[in-house]
């Protein structure tokens, strides 16, 4: 049968556009929260394929809620430093599922995975540089006015970690803004180099 013919009673899967090519008619319903979280947690090493915006944002919400819950709970039980340690532990436990769904979301919007890998390096640089300076940072943050002495000690005692924190913070902010724009982009219709669209099925 000719590919351009449609069987009686069967709605067309695609609609012609002005260039005589075919595009998907209707998007599938969004991924719900349970399915998004379940998929991310059960496929933490799956860096191939594509993920929709709904799948990415539901798991991102879950990731940050779990990090904050871990930090708040342990801070309430054992103090601020333990709370930060708990937050780091949750982040490390969920980093691979979060990275995988981020890579698939980039694929879905037509972008390469290297955007996610650079952001991961910036995260490691930022949080890794914060740890040795934690006590000084807490002194600066807890005071109603900037603690000049704590800042001086931090710059003197952590001459390597301090500039890494500054550079990583700037890179983290800029790269995070770019990723935010990519993550808000719609799924590319049809098939791209990373596979079939999970939203606009052929």
* Average pLDDT of the residues in 87-94: 85
Report the pLDDT value the prediction gives residue 80, as an integer from 0 to 100: 64
Report the pLDDT value the prediction gives residue 81, as an integer from 0 to 100: 63
- Choose the weakest-confidence range: 53-62, 114-123, 141-150: 141-150
**Parallel/antiparallel/unpaired status of strands 191-192 and 195-196:** antiparallel
Check: CB of residue 91 under 8 Å from CB of residue 66.
no
77-to-37, 73, 74, 112 alpha-carbon distances in Å = 28, 6, 5, 42
Q: Nearest to residue 98, comparing CAs of 170, 47, 31? A: 47
Give the span between the Cα atoms of 10 and 12, in whole angstroms.
Answer: 6
State the greatest distance between any 2 C-alpha atoms of the chain, in Å, as a whole number.
81
- The pLDDT tens digits of the residues spanning 51-69 come to 999 999 999 999 999 988 8
- Where along the chain do its domains lie? 30-110, 113-185
- Choose the weakest-confidence range: 15-24, 41-50, 53-62, 94-103: 15-24
Is the sign of the CA dihedral 140, 142, 147, 149 positive or negative? negative
* pLDDT at residue 32 greater than cutoff 70: yes
* pLDDT at residue 6 greater than cutoff 50: no
Give the span between the Cα atoms of 202 and 198, in whole angstroms.
Answer: 9
* pLDDT at residue 98 greater than cutoff 90: yes
pTM exceeding 0.85:
no
């Amino acid at each position: 049968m000719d590919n351009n013919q449609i069987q009686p009673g069967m709605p067309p899967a695609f609609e012609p556009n002005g260039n005589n090519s075919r595009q998907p008619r209707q998007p599938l319903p969004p991924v719900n929260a349970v399915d998004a979280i379940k998929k991310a947690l059960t496929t933490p090493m799956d860096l191939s394929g594509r993920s929709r915006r709904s799948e990415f944002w539901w798991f991102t919400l879950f990731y940050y809620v779990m990090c904050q819950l871990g930090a708040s709970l342990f801070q309430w039980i054992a103090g601020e430093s333990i709370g930060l340690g708990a937050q780091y532990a949750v982040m490390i436990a969920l980093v691979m599922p979060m990275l995988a769904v981020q890579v698939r979301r980039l694929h879905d919007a037509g972008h390469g995975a290297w955007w996610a890998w650079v952001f991961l390096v910036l995260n490691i640089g930022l949080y890794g540089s914060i740890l040795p300076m934690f006590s000084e940072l807490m002194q600066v943050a807890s005071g109603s006015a900037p603690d000049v002495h704590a800042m001086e000690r931090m710059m003197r005692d952590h001459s390597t970690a301090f500039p890494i924190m500054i550079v990583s913070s700037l890179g983290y902010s800029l790269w995070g803004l770019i990723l935010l724009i990519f993550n808000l982009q719609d799924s590319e219709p049809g098939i791209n180099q990373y596979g079939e669209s999970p939203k606009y099925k052929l």
